[in-house]
Amino acid sequence: MRPGTAREASAVPPAPPLRADALRNRARLLAAAREVFAERGLDAPMATVARRAGVGVATLYRRFPTRDDLVRAAFAEQMDTCARVLDEAVADPDPWRGFQRLVETVCALQAEERGFPEAFVRAFPAAARAHTDAARAQAAEDFARLVARAQAAGALRTDFHPADFSMLLLAHGGLVAAAPADRASSRRLVAYLLESFRARPSRTALPPPGTLDLIAWPQPNTAAQPASPGA
């Protein structure tokens, strides 16, 4: 939530402005990185990102010396949004409202940028480069404090654990990967999961269902599989 946010950048001397062609290359690299990470995960070859962007690998490494540098830059806007929403959630006098908005915001970002959830889970609260460790630790502390406040208020289940947030993202990520255009199903699943986290049932109606159909669900294509010997 806080990792790699603009707050840390304020402590770093500003870099000289980029030329117009360098700015275009940077924009192409970031767009290509988001596409490739969504398709192949954050461990996709850097050369694949460079090729997708139409630039040389040397250009990529000149702009982003490490994979972490590229991941943080590609999802900087989403990370900043999460940091801001976490701050607002911690400051909200209603801890459940803050918790709910945080979950909904992160899941909405997950639906918009399929590569973001993996970047988010890696950045929060796992250890990484030293200059972001303090931010990650602060994010973990803030989230734990929000959870404790919501539990103390009787709104959040007492057996909720911060690791359940990662489990939520994995569950929602499976839906987003299978039906990326079905935002209604995304909202409904998030509402179901939030309801399961409540200490007491709410009277709020779930969002309308999406377009998922069990009967029409795509089945594995076995037609192209070679026949086994002796079949």
Sign of the Cα pseudo-torsion (140, 145, 150, 156, in order): positive
User: How many Å separate Cα 219 from the centre of its chain?
Assistant: 28
Q: What is the pLDDT of residues 15-40, one digit of tens each?
A: 556 677 888 999 999 999 988 988 88
CB-CB contact of 49 with 29 (8 Å): yes
Average pLDDT over residues 55-81: 90
pLDDT value, residue 132: 59
Nearest in space to 172 (alpha carbons), one of 121, 96, 208:
121
Condensed to tens digits (0 to 9), the pLDDT of residues 123-135 reads: 544 433 434 567 7
Residue 11: pLDDT over 60: no
212 in the Ramachandran plot: left (φ > 0), alpha (ψ -120 to 50) or beta?
Answer: beta
Task: Identify the pLDDT of residue 19.
Answer: 73
* Structural domain span for residue 37: 20-66
What are the tokens at 94? 């209603």
Of 198 and 79, the one with more pLDDT: 198
Cα dist. 76→18, 72, 193 in Å? 18, 5, 27
* The pLDDT of residue 223 is above 70: no
Look at residue 157 in the predicted model and tell me its pLDDT.
98
The predicted structure's pLDDT at residue 38: 82
Written as one letter, the residue type at 32 is A
52 occurs within a structural domain: yes
Q: Does residue 132 sit in the same domain as residue 181?
A: yes
Give alpha helix (H) positions in the chain.
6-9, 20-40, 46-53, 57-63, 67-74, 76-91, 95-112, 116-123, 130-152, 163-178, 183-197
Residue 122 lies in a domain: yes
pLDDT of residue 225: 47
Q: Residue 78 pLDDT > 70, yes or no?
A: yes
pLDDT at position 2: 55
The DSSP string of 143-173 is: HHHHHHHHHHTT-B-TT--THHHHHHHHHHH
Mean pLDDT across the chain, nearest whole number?
82
Lookup: tokens for 172: 């929602």
Task: Give the CATH number, domain containing residue 49.
Answer: 1.10.10.60
Question: Does position 224 have pLDDT exceeding 90, yes or no?
Answer: no
115 and 174 together in one domain: yes
Which whole-number Å values give the CA distances from 99 to 56, 62, 68, 162, 200, in the listed order?
43, 40, 28, 11, 15
| Same domain as 185, residue 97 | yes
- Structural domain contains residue 56: yes
- Note the pLDDT tens digit of each residue in 58-70: 999 999 999 988 9
Residues 97 and 25 in one domain: no
Query: Which DSSP symbol is given to 207?
Result: P
Query: What local confidence, expressed as pLDDT, does residue 220 receive?
Result: 52
pLDDT of 92: 97
Residue 194 is predicted with a pLDDT of: 97
- Reported as a pLDDT band with limits 50, 70 and 90, residue 169 is confident
How far is Cα of residue 205 from the mean position of the Cα atoms in its chain? 26
Domain count across the chain: 2
| Pick from 64, 94, 87, 88: nearest CA to 76 | 64
Q: Give the residue with greater pLDDT, 190 vs 129.
A: 190
Average the pLDDT over 159-171 and give the result: 91
91-140 per-position pLDDT tens digit: 999 999 999 999 999 999 888 877 676 666 665 444 334 345 677 788 88
Reported pTM? 0.72
Q: Does a structural domain hold residue 50?
A: yes
In angstroms, the CA 123 to CA 141 distance is 14
